[in-house]
Structures are given as structure tokens and as C-alpha cells.
Amino acid sequence: MYNNIIRREKVIKNNPRKSIHGQWSSKLIFIFAATGSAVGLGNIWKFPWMTGENGGGAFVLIYIVSVLIIALPIMMAEVFIGRHGKQNPVASLKYLANESSSFNFIEVDKSLNRVRSKRQSYSNYDDYSNWQLVGWAGIIAGILILSFYSVIAGWTISYIFKAATGVFDAISLEQSQRLFNDFISDPEKLLAWHTMFMIFTCYIVAKGVRGGLEKAVKFFIPSLFFLLICLAIYSMTLPGFYDGISYMFIPDIAKIDSNVILSAMGMAFFSLSIGMGSLMIYGSYLSDKSSITEVTAIVAFADTFVAILAGIIIFPMVFTYNLDPSSAGPGLIFQTLPIAFGAMPGGSIIATLFFILLFFAAITSSISLIEPAISYMVEQYSLTRAKATFRMGFITWVLGLGTILSFNYLSEYKFLGMTFFNLLDNFTSKVMLPLGGLLMAVFVGFIVKRNIVEEELKLNTIIFNSWRLIIRFIAPIAVTLIFINGLI
């Protein structure tokens, strides 16, 4: 993929209108990269925390429904925009908007059956389109998310060292909570780990050394699966297993309110990396021969599987140690997992391995969070990758300071009842991503010409029509209603 990025950027620099056609060497590499983007802290850190905060089973149920009827169809739309536009999100949206507004262009294209090669000669190519705004909003959302994501990823790096040095050995609940609270109340430490994580991310993004990393996903996602399954088996042996599982899978319908629904939907967007252009970029490298439906379904399945597994591990622990799932907050996994690791034979090795895998999962997501911004700056302003990464990385790093301080010095400073971190997290997951996704759905459903989408998705008519119905009506209406209700 790295070579493709460089090739694409060279072509664009030399001639912005030339074909910008990079391709994944195979469908598998797309699946690896997109799974790398989707599977991350969202599944293992955020999902259990959100489930606990939003009433357990009710949240899980709505989460799964949201993935199936809102997130997955929108994911297909987002990947479609990327694959058809083949550029950074802003330019892809602009390109598609212009292409669809030019009727003759499409006609000629169809008859010649040379959709792609006609692209360069399209005269309105440089026109502005309001749809570009969706791309820009996505770039901003990515930077905002990465600013706190990196801080939490920093926690995982720190926990690798804690695990390796045996800090968790026979640790009690109180000790584990104290360990975590002392850690997050020390801004210097958080800053050091946040800085380190940003340096890792920027190094990989700037150098484009991610080809290796993307292939490594093939190794560490299954390893993560395997380790999670082992931990789930361990959880089965805990006295709180039954309570934990019932809490997670038996929905208490009375707990469903508009905020739970909004949180679950936001979580689906966040977890699948939808609504901000990451998957558009990755889609732009997907070969035309691959089925968008197939690859997105695989990614969504893998992502949901990891999240559910994380819940199956955490909640039995929560009930075994008599924690209150609704008030543990973002520290949930950092407080519970060490106790389990500390109690099992070979725990420090397993714990070290676990946090290393979590770190890898976080880094493949963080890369995708910043990529829309980088590709836009490189293609639009002819910056080198290194320069673009440095600038964006620096902005993100500075923003991260707000999150760091919101866990200690500024923890009492609240806006709308939320700390800076909570505000960023809520604003991005519950507002920016769903809104981005909604607009992408409307764009593909109403603006892009039907035949273009049909050709790209190659579905049978019934499935295509059902998908289009979801994209045009069901998903946008659902998101709007959930959104309005949740905000009121």
C-alpha cells in the first residue's frame, strides 16, 4: 500500500488531473488495513465502558442493531465513495458530486464503458462542491479523535511496562484502582506516553512504513482473537461469570432511553471507523474487482466479534469484584484486567502480551485517524508526507494536552457537565461521526447517479434495492431521529 500512496502522490504532484489510480495488491490487504482501523481501543477499552455506563444488555442490543441496519450500509457507501473517487476524501466527494451533476458525461462514459479514463478530461473537476465539507469535517473529526485516542493509547504503553515488571502480581482491587488513579493524576507521565504514541504514529505515517504493519495485522489480529478467547475462558471460571453474562446479554428494556440509543449508535460509528473518511481513503486503494459488500461485511463482523468478546471478559470480572459497571468510567479495563492477570499463572507474560497487542491495535487505528488529513494536505498543497504529518501531528499532540489535564488538574472544570475529554469523546462519537455518516448516505443515495453506484457495487437487484432503501431513507431517518431525541 505504501508504494501506492507514494505513486499516487507523485502523480498528483506532477499533474493534478492525471489518473490517480493506486490499488491494493489484493482484497486481503484492504481487509487487513480496514480491520486494523476498526479494531482498536474502541472495542476493548471503550465498548465495555460504554456498555457499563448505558445499562448493559440494552446497550449491546441496540449496538448490534445499529451495526446491522445503520453502520454497515453506511460503511459500504463510504468505501464506495473512496473507491470511485480514488483520492483524498475531500477530492473524492468533489469528484463524485461533479461527475453526477454532469449528465452527458455519464452518458458518454457509459457508452464507451471507460468510466475511469474519462475522469481526467472532466472539465468541472476543479469546481467547488458543498459535499467537500463532509470531507473536511471528517478530517477535523479524525484529528479530534486522535488527540484523545493517543492519550489512552499512551496508557496501554505504560501498562505494557507495568505488566512486564510484575506490578500486577496478586494485585487486589483497591491496589489496582489506586495504581490507575495515581497514574492518571500524574500529567507528566500521561504527557510522556501520549508524546511517545504520537511519535510512533507520525513516524509510521510520515515514512509510509505501514505496508509492513498492514501485513502484520494478519498476524496480530488473530493473536488478539486468540488471547481474548483465552481470557474469556478464564472469565468463565470466575464466580461472577453468570451475572456478567446476564448483565451483557439480557437486555433490560426499561433502561433503553434516547441517550442509550444515541450512545450505542455513536459507538457503532466509532468502532467501525465510519463517518470521517478513513474508510474512504482505504477504499480508494481497493481494487475494482473486489466486492465492497463482502469486504465491509467481513470487517464489521471481525470488529463486532472483538467488542463482544471484550465484554464477555470484562463483565464477569466486574461482578466478581463487586464493581459498579455504571460508574467505572474510562478506567474500567485498566482497573479490572490487572487483577485477573495478577491472579492467573504466568499472568505477567499474558498481561504484557495483551497490552502489546492492544498497542498494535491502537496504532493501526491511529494511522487511519490521521490519514485523511495527511492525504488531503499532500494532494492539495503539494506538501511532502513528512511535512504534512509533522504539522497535523503537532496540532493533535497539543490538543491531547486538554485530555491529559482533564484527568487531573482540570477534572473539575466542566462544560455542559462534561470534562474536556468527555466533551471531545461525546462530540465526535455522538455528533460528528453520525452526521458525517448521514451525509455520506444521503450523498450516495440521492446525489450520486444510481448507475454509477450499481456498477461499482455489482449486487443483485433485490439486495441492491434494499441497500439503497436503507441508505436513502432508513439510515438517514434513524440517525436524524436518534440524534434529535438524544440531544433533547
Where along the sequence are the contacts to ligand PHE (CB under 6 A)? 37-38, 40-43, 145, 270-271, 273, 276, 278, 365, 368-369
The nearest distance, CB 49 to ligand PHE, in angstroms, is 12
Residue type, 423: L
Rank residues 145 and 295 by Cβ distance to ligand PHE and give the closer one. Answer: 145
Check if the beta carbon of residue 260 is closer than 8 Å to that of residue 62.
yes
C-alpha cell at 417: 457537565
DSSP 288: T
Residue 227 parent element (H or E)? helix 210-236
For 400: left if phi > 0, alpha if psi spans -120 to 50, otherwise beta; the answer is alpha
The nearest distance, CB 44 to ligand PHE, in angstroms, is 8
Rank residues 39 and 256 by Cβ distance to ligand PHE and give the closer one. Answer: 39
Rank residues 41 and 482 by Cβ distance to ligand PHE and give the closer one. Answer: 41
The nearest distance, CB 200 to ligand PHE, in angstroms, is 16
The nearest distance, CB 415 to ligand PHE, in angstroms, is 23
Rank residues 358 and 478 by Cβ distance to ligand PHE and give the closer one. Answer: 358
C-alpha cell at 69: 441496519
Rank residues 424 and 452 by Cβ distance to ligand PHE and give the closer one. Answer: 424
Rank residues 184 and 373 by Cβ distance to ligand PHE and give the closer one. Answer: 373
Rank residues 42 and 311 by Cβ distance to ligand PHE and give the closer one. Answer: 42
Q: How far apart (Å, rounded) are the C-alpha atoms in residues 49 and 69?
A: 23
Check if the beta carbon of residue 141 is closer than 8 Å to that of residue 432.
yes
**418 phi, psi to nearest 5 deg:** -125, 145
DSSP 415: B
Check if the beta carbon of residue 60 is closer than 8 Å to that of residue 51.
yes
Partner residues linked to 260 by β-bridges: none
Check if the beta carbon of residue 106 is closer than 8 Å to that of residue 311.
no
Which residues fall within 8 angstroms of residue 141, CB to CB, at 6 or more apart?
Answer: 275, 276, 428, 432, 433, 436
The nearest distance, CB 204 to ligand PHE, in angstroms, is 15
Q: Which residue is nearest to ligand PHE (CB)?
A: 42
The nearest distance, CB 276 to ligand PHE, in angstroms, is 5
The SS3 assignment for 33 reads helix
The nearest distance, CB 198 to ligand PHE, in angstroms, is 15
Q: How far apart (Å, rounded) are the C-alpha atoms in residues 429 and 440?
A: 16
The nearest distance, CB 40 to ligand PHE, in angstroms, is 2
Rank residues 238 and 307 by Cβ distance to ligand PHE and give the closer one. Answer: 307
Check if the beta carbon of residue 127 is closer than 8 Å to that of residue 98.
yes
Rank residues 77 and 171 by Cβ distance to ligand PHE and give the closer one. Answer: 77
For 458: left if phi > 0, alpha if psi spans -120 to 50, otherwise beta; the answer is left
CB atoms within 10 A of CB 14: 9
**415 phi, psi to nearest 5 deg:** -125, 125
The nearest distance, CB 450 to ligand PHE, in angstroms, is 28
The nearest distance, CB 373 to ligand PHE, in angstroms, is 12
Which residues fall within 8 angstroms of residue 210, CB to CB, at 6 or more apart?
Answer: 1, 2, 204, 367
Rank residues 228 and 369 by Cβ distance to ligand PHE and give the closer one. Answer: 369
Q: How far apart (Å, rounded) are the C-alpha atoms in residues 157 and 301?
A: 27
